[in-house]
Amino acid sequence: METISSNACFGGTQHVIKHASSSCACDMTFALFLPPEAKDGPVPVLWFLSGLTCTHENAMVKAGAQAWAAEQGIALVFPDTSPRGEGVANDEAYDLGQGAGFYVNATLDPWKPHFQMWTYIADELPALLAENFPLDMERQSITGHSMGGHGALTLAMSFPDRFTSVSAFAPITHPIASDWGRKQLTAYLGADESTWVAHDATLLMQEKGFDGPVLIDQGTDDQFLDLLQPEALSAAMAKRRQNGMFRMQPGYDHSYFFIATFMEDHVTFHADALWSA
């Protein structure tokens, strides 16, 4: 691992770290915020998965999460959204390729050699964090924005024994039925839609649900509402009688202004679940 930067932040430390990833076959970068309590021993972990075009840096800089995480004594992990670098496949469109990994393991070329984001987030990065930092990996929660909200929800429902709680800001909720999903899942996984089901939060909610609490925030003025399809996940949660809150926030759009406004709510929501686990 190579430490790119370490900065004092709300009594703790904000790190940016680069490492050679075996699953993505390239260098990957992630950000890690450790609260003051990490100096005395392992602390719970909240993952934040970012959206299309983003890197580890967007949420680290814009979300304002460190202040609330320091107050609650929990760590924050901000992974990148895809593999990057020379030799890594890309596309001219912003919603495919670098910056648009969709948190899946690609099975088709040219994506397959590097785009193994599911394995990276589910296996490789947690193992690296557990080995090198004072983190309590028995206490993990996960959140994300847009494409990252999709990833957070699908990972949480796929690993129910790992994550204590899950939340999302304006998540892509039903990619099988959306242009933000069908295009990417076809490119990465192929035309057989049965392979897509594990990456559709609405279908997973219908099939499995989540044992812990769920919090979803969606802005009513989000310019991507038709692509996000919040009504699909909301209906699935209601039908399943899922323990959760689905909040439509009047006047808010898809930006980080929206995320920053409700970040305290989400960090507190997860901290309550983590510390009571």
Residue 168 DSSP symbol: E
Q: Which domain holds residue 123?
A: 2-276
Using 70 as the pLDDT threshold, list the residues of the chain that sit under it: none
Instruction: List the catalytic residues.
Output: 146, 222, 254
Amino acid 110: pLDDT? 98
CATH code of the domain covering residue 62: 3.40.50.1820
Domain total for the chain? 1
The per-residue pLDDT for range 146-178, each reduced to its tens digit, is 999 999 999 999 999 999 999 999 999 999 999
The span from the CA of 58 to the CA of 246, in Å, is: 24
Sequence-ordered strand ranges (E) for the chain? 2-9, 12-21, 26-34, 43-49, 75-79, 135-144, 163-169, 214-219, 244-249
pTM: 0.98
